[in-house]
């Protein structure tokens, strides 16, 4: 699993390498564009809407919402990734922060129309994912959504099958969400939670 230095080194080549990896049609980026297109459909009209993007990276996804008039607030622990995101979204707001510690002080009391995160939550273990998500419920407006897109599976069997198929490409350090384990951990969060598998190795967790 990459640390912030690894992501700093990857930032310049990130967008191209994701596009190349997606073309291979395999784990971990199979269906990446489709996953993000499905996230986009969940945000009806982005004009004037405040969106917090956790692990925003180069802004590959949020930049399209920004172009449609959304107000983007991005969080990432990689300064180089944030530089790219700032270049793509000059009027955006950006925070250099490690989400292992939740949200930075200045965002803790803020509420957003929606909170999104793409391909970043696998850096947290299951308990960390659940407690971070529970804490984020207070940062989303009552009509809002928390949308987590990532490498993820419906069942532990599905994850095991993908690991088997992926062989040496599989990254044992990353902790992928398994919906049958995660959904019960989110009960009582105050929001309804559902999971949808989009590609063979990725899906969307929606809290609304």
Ligand X SMILES: C[S@@+](CC[C@H](N)C(=O)[O-])C[C@H]1O[C@@H](n2cnc3c(N)ncnc32)[C@H](O)[C@@H]1O
Task: Give 51 or 155: the residue with its C-beta nearer to ligand X.
Answer: 51
Q: Is 140 in the site for ligand X (CB under 6 A)?
A: no
Binding mask 68-107 for ligand X (x = CB under 6 A): --------xxx--x----------------xxx-------
Task: Give 71 or 123: the residue with its C-beta nearer to ligand X.
Answer: 123
SS3 194: strand
Contact with ligand X (CB under 6 A) among 30, 39, 52, 56: 56
CA 107, chain centre distance (Å) = 17
Q: Is 199 in the site for ligand X (CB under 6 A)?
A: no
Task: Give 78 or 139: the residue with its C-beta nearer to ligand X.
Answer: 78
Phi, psi of 136 (to 5 degrees): -75, -15
Q: Is 57 in the site for ligand X (CB under 6 A)?
A: yes
Considering Cα of 72, then 208, then 196, then 154, what sign does the dihedral take? positive
Is the preceding peptide bond at 156 cis, omega within 30 degrees of 0?
no
Name the residue among 206, 197, 175 with its Cα closest to residue 34.
Answer: 197
């Amino acid at each position: 699993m990459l640390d912030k230095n690894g992501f700093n080194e990857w930032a310049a080549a990130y967008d191209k390498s994701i596009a190349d990896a997606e073309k291979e049609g395999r784990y971990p980026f199979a269906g990446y564009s489709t996953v993000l297109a499905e996230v986009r459909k969940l945000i009806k009209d982005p004009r004037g809407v405040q969106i917090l993007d956790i692990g925003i990276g180069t802004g590959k996804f949020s930049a399209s919402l920004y172009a449609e008039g959304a107000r983007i607030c991005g969080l990432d622990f990689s300064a180089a990734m944030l530089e790219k995101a700032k270049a793509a979204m000059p009027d955006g707001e950006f925070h250099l922060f490690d989400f292992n510690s939740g949200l930075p002080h200045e965002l803790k009391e803020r509420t957003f129309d929606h909170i999104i995160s793409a391909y970043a939550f696998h850096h947290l273990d299951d308990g960390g994912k659940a407690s971070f998500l529970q804490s984020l419920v207070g940062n989303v407006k009552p009509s809002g959504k928390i949308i987590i897109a990532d490498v993820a599976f419906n069942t532990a069997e599905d994850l095991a099958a993908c690991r088997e198929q992926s062989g040496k490409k599989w990254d044992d350090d990353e902790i992928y969400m398994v919906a049958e384990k995660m959904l019960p951990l989110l009960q009582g969060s105050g929001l309804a939670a559902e999971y949808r598998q989009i590609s063979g190795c990725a899906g969307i967790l929606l809290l609304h």
